[in-house]
Amino acid sequence: MSNISASQVKELREKTGLGLMDCKKALEGSNGDMDMAIEELRKTSGIKASKKSGRSAADGLIGIKSNGSTSFMLEVNCETDFVARDDSYIAFTSETLDIYSNNSDKSLEELLTDGIEDSREKLVQKLGENIVVRRVAKTDDSSVAGSYLHSNKKIGCIVSLDGGNEALANDIAMHAAATDPMAVSPADIPEEIIEKEKEIFKAQSEDSGKPPEIVEKMIAGKVSKFLSEVSLTEQDFVKDPNTKISKLLSDNSANIKSFIRYEVGEGIEVEKVDFATEVMSQLES
C-alpha cells in the first residue's frame, strides 16, 4: 500500500511539469523524498522523451513575427490538435520563435543545442506527446518584408519584395497562403515538372482524333494554362480577381524576391497505429 499522498504528487507535478503516474512512481521509489524523486525524474526524463520521439508529429502550429524589416516563421509539430491548443504548447512555440528571431544567423540544430531542446523535452514529459521544432525561415535581407498567418495558425507565409511596401508584401503573403503557388514565375518552374505535365496532356489528347499539329497546339495551350495557375505572378489576386499579381506588382514598382509558405504537417507521413497497439505502447513507455 502506497503512503504517497495526492498533495505530494501534485507538488511534484508542479515542480517538474511531468505526468501524474511518472510523479507517483518517482515518489514511491524514493519513499516520499521529494528531492530524491526530482533527481530520479531528471535521470529518466530524457529517456522517456526519446521514446516518444519516434511517434509521428504531424499536427501543431505555425508561428510568425516581424521586426519591421524581417519576417520570421517556424513550424512546431505535435501529435494531436488537442495538444496544439494547450497553453504551455502555445507558449513554447512563441518562446522558440522569439529565440529564433533574436538568433536567426544560427541553424535550427544550433538553436536546439543552445537551450530549446531542454524546454522541448520538459514539454514532451508534461504533455505526453512527441514535439518537434521542424523548420525555421526568414525573409531576405535588404527587402520589404511581409507575412500572413491564418487564423487557425496551421498555414503561414512570408514574402520578400524589391520595392513596394509592407502592406503590399502582406497582401501577397496572404494570397500565396491561400493559393499555394509552386514558384514565383513560370521561368522558375523546373523543366522536369513541365515535361511531366506535357506527357499527361499528350496522353489526354491522343484520343481526340484531331490532326497532330492541332494536338500540339492543344498541349501547348494546356501547358501555358498550367504555368499560369501554379506561378504566383500569373495568378489572379484573391482580393481582386480582375487583377493579376504581376499587375499589382507593376502598379507598385515592386518585384517578388522570394516567398516561403508553411502548412502544418505537409510532407509528413503519419504512422497509423491501431488502438490495441497504442495501448500496449503506452503501458511499455
Go through the domains of the chain in sequence order and give each one's CATH number: 6-52 (1.10.8.10), 59-177+258-263 (3.30.479.20), 186-255 (no CATH)
Per-residue pLDDT, 215 = 84
Unique residue bearing C-alpha cell 502598379: 251
Question: What would the pLDDT profile of 174-190 be if each residue is shown by its tens digit?
Answer: 999 999 999 999 999 99
Using an 8 Å Cβ cutoff, are 146 and 159 in contact?
yes
Sign of the alpha-carbon dihedral angle for 121, 117, 54, 271:
positive
Per-residue pLDDT, 178 = 97
Q: Integer distance in angstroms from the first to the last C-alpha of the chain?
A: 23
Cα–Cα distance, 28 to 101 (Å, whole number): 43
Record the cell numbers describing residue 161, joined without a space. 519584395
Pick out the chain residues at pLDDT < 50. 1, 282, 285
Record the cell numbers describing residue 173, joined without a space. 503573403
Per-residue pLDDT, 47 = 65
Of 42, 17, 22, nearest in space to 4 by CA? 22
Per-residue pLDDT, 137 = 97
Rounded alpha-carbon distances, angstroms, from residue 162 to 45, 52, 165, 185, 209: 48, 44, 9, 15, 48
pTM of the model: 0.80
